[in-house]
């Protein structure tokens, strides 16, 4: 029944981009067609997530061509398991939101939606590819639409920010390519599942052409750039600040998760013992990244840059949760790593919502300078309430999705590395400070002169906002909708010789 579902999910946006390029000319035609494709892609991602059988577990909905490149023993191998199923749902959700928040784009509309749809294909491909060569191809293809979208439709210094993003990612990709080749020459295959079974559990790393720890950190370097972790984070604020709203939604909501997903899929599952041995240094790095990001966030006066730096802090929690692998006893490790995975999903929806709202405010007020944005609650109550919900979710209010992830990360990671976690906990306090302070500055007080004639969000603008709020509340109230799926995959990631 579901044969070809993942292939359709990956390549439907690219096929739509080709149709736009060849057959559509009018702006309205392009927008309507892209909207229809967005709804279809979202429905397919929900079907894929809902059809994953948690009782069966393992890799499901497999699309495989074993002799894709026979000379290299490379396969066309797409599959869904408990680890990537939530990422597929998140990508479908935020991709659709990105299309609909782009409804007012007027400059080169045809090319804009083409690149945005191609970006959607590349990111979806990264999450479902289970062959290293295919994974790497999708990872690299994503750079092209991102560069074009930022440089052509961005503001400020778009070319500089686009080049900086590409340069950092290329540097990380170079390390990853070397590590992939090391695994290939040791195992003779690019099959991620087979490599995990051979190197992660059954046999020592003696067949690798370089030490396991070096291979681990070559992969980690690539994923840390994408996550991003201090000190390889500096591309993120520039890219966010200068990117159009839809690209910021995809960048913060989905592209950063490629880094966290890579750490879980590759570093932790293939090199579990190395991850355990270096758990404490990585926990210290995560704690520093959390605190650094929070402190720098408090100093920002540009609303979009503030949300961007907050992502540096919040994504540090993903790495902190991964370090739970050092905990004595698989129970705590499972809790922490599950929290890291949930954090990727919840951060995607929360920060995606924040960037949608920031873009909406910029369109209406024509500034992102926080001192010039006051009293929004009087003029645009729907936008103001949405900001409050997103802010409270970001600071970890119980009942919203941010709390679920953070409490699981602290429970798991504290058992493994108590002192780094104790310092990282101050990041939650700082987050509450800068979020509440920002809400007070932009929502309350007398309206500024810029707000004359300001109108609240239209029904089209409310559609992605309401969708993301529903996702935040559902996961906050009933986290099992995500954790039950993750539980089928994560125990396998830590099924190794516990200390």
For 430-489, give the DSSP string: HHHHHHHHHHHHHHSSSPPGGGTT--PPPHHHHHHHHHHHHHHHHHHH-THHHHHHHTTT
In this prediction, residues 51-57 reach a mean pLDDT of 86
Query: Does residue 452 or residue 162 have the better pLDDT?
Result: 162
pLDDT (0 to 100) of residue 498: 35
Helix (H, G, I), strand (E, B) or coil at 49: helix
Q: Which residue has the tokens 């993003």?
A: 165
Question: What confidence score (pLDDT) does residue 206 get?
Answer: 63
- pLDDT attached to residue 133: 95
**Minimal CA–CA distance to 336: which of 321, 323, 319, 315?**
321
Confidence class of residue 80 from pLDDT cuts 50, 70 and 90?
very high
What is the predicted pLDDT for the residue at 413?
Answer: 87
User: Domain boundaries in the chain?
Assistant: 278-493
Section 333-360 average pLDDT:
90
Query: How far is it, in rounded angstroms, from Cα 20 to Cα 34?
Result: 9
According to the model, what pLDDT value does residue 377 have?
A: 84
Q: Is the pLDDT of residue 497 over 50?
A: no
- Rg of the chain over CA atoms, in angstroms? 22
Segment 367-393 mean pLDDT: 88
Residue 329 has pLDDT above 60, yes or no: no
Identify the pLDDT of residue 495.
52
Q: What are the pLDDT digits (tens) for 435-467?
A: 999 899 888 877 776 666 677 778 888 899 999
CA angle 126, 256, 363 (to 5 degrees): 115
Tokens of 330: 């698989």
Q: How confident is the model at residue 40, as a pLDDT? A: 96
Specify the pLDDT at position 493.
Answer: 62
Q: For residue range 195-239, list pLDDT tens digits in order.
A: 887 765 555 566 677 788 899 999 999 999 998 898 888 888 888
Is 274 in contact with 216 (CB distance < 8 Å)?
A: yes
190, pLDDT greater than 70: yes
Q: Which two tokens stand for residue 140?
A: 């690299």
Q: What is the pLDDT of residues 101-148, one digit of tens each?
A: 988 888 888 999 999 999 999 999 999 999 999 999 999 999 999 999
Q: What is the 3-state secondary structure (H, E, C) of 325-372?
A: HHCCCHHHHHHHHHHHHHHHHHHHHHHHHHHHHHHHHHHHHCCCEHHH
Q: What is the mean pLDDT of the chain?
A: 87
Determine the 3-state secondary structure of 65 from DSSP.
strand
Beta-bridged to residue 129, according to DSSP, are 78
Q: Give 386 or 367, the one with higher predicted confidence.
A: 386
What is the spatial distance between Cα 369 and Cα 357, in angstroms, rounded to a whole number?
A: 14
Phi, then psi, of 55 in degrees rounded to 5: -70, -35
- Supply the pLDDT for residue 49: 94
- Predicted local distance difference test score (pLDDT) of residue 284: 93
Give 76's strand partners.
65
pLDDT of 330 above 60: no
How far is Cα 134 from Cα 126, in angstroms, rounded to an integer?
8
Percentage with pLDDT > 90 across the chain: 44
Mean pLDDT for 380-385 is 90
User: Residue 475: pLDDT above 90?
Assistant: yes
The half-sphere exposure of 66 on its side-chain side, counting CA atoms within 13 A, is: 0
pLDDT(494) > 70: no
**Above 50 in pLDDT, residue 278?**
yes
Is the confidence at residue 289, as pLDDT, over 90?
yes
pTM, two decimals, is 0.93
pLDDT at res. 128: 95
User: For the chain, what percent of residues have pLDDT higher than 70?
Assistant: 93
Tell me the average pLDDT across 167-177: 92
**In the numeric block, which tokens belong to residue 130?**
């289970």
Span 21-41, average pLDDT: 92
Average pLDDT value for residue range 458-487:
91
Round to whole Å and give the CA distance between 392 and 351. 12
Q: Confidence band (pLDDT; 50, 70, 90) for 496?
A: very low
Q: How far is CA 254 from the centre of its chain?
A: 3
């Amino acid at each position: 029944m579901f044969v070809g579902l993942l292939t359709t999910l990956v390549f439907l946006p690219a096929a739509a981009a080709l149709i736009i390029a060849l057959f559509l000319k009018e702006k309205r035609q392009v927008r309507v067609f892209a909207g229809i494709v967005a709804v279809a892609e979202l429905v397919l991602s929900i079907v894929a997530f809902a059809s994953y059988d948690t009782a069966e577990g393992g890799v499901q909905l497999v699309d495989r061509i074993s002799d894709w490149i026979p000379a290299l023993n490379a396969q066309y191998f797409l599959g869904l398991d408990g680890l990537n199923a939530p990422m597929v749902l998140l990508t479908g959700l935020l991709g659709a939101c990105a299309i609909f928040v782009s409804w007012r784009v007027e400059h080169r509309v045809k090319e804009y939606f083409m690149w945005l749809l191609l970006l959607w294909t590349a990111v979806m491909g990264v999450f479902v590819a289970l062959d290293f060569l295919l994974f790497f191809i999708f990872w690299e293809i994503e750079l092209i639409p991102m560069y074009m979208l930022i440089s052509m439709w961005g503001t400020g210094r778009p070319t500089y920010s686009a080049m900086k993003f590409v340069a950092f990612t290329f540097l990380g990709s170079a390390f990853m390519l070397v590590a992939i080749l090391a695994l290939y020459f040791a195992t003779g295959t690019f099959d991620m599942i087979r490599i995990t079974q051979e190197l992660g559990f059954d046999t020592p790393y003696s067949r690798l052409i370089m030490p396991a720890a070096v291979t681990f950190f070559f992969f980690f370097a690539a994923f840390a750039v994408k996550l991003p972790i201090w000190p390889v984070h500096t591309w993120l604020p520039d890219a966010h600040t200068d990117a159009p709203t839809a690209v910021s939604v995809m960048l913060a909501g989905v592209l950063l998760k490629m880094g966290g997903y890579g750490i879980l899929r590759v570093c932790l599952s293939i090199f579990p013992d190395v991850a355990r041995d270096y758990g404490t240094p990585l926990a210290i790095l995560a704690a520093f990244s959390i605190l650094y990001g929070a402190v720098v966030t408090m100093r920002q006066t540009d609303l979009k840059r503030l949300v961007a730096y907050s992502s540096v802090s919040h994504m540090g929690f993903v790495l902190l949760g991964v370090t739970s692998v050092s905990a004595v006893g698989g129970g705590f490790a499972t809790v922490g790593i599950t929290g890291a995975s949930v954090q990727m999903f919840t951060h995607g929806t929360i920060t995606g919502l924040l960037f949608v709202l920031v873009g909406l405010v910029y369109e209406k007020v024509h500034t992102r300078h926080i001192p010039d944005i006051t009293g929004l609650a009087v003029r645009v109550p729907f936008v103001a309430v949405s900001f409050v919900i997103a802010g409270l979710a970001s600071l970890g209010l119980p009942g919203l999705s941010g709390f679920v992830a953070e409490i699981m990360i602290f429970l798991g990671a504290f058992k493994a590395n108590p002192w780094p976690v104790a310092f990282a906990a101050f990041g939650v306090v700082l987050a509450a400070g800068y979020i509440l302070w920002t809400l007070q500055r932009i929502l309350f007080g007398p309206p500024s002169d810029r707000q004359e004639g300001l109108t609240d969000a239209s029904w089209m603008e409310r559609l992605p906002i309401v969708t993301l709020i529903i996702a935040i509340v559902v996961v906050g109230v009933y986290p099992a909708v995500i954790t039950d799926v993750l539980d089928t995959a994560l125990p396998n990631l830590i099924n190794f010789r516990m200390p």
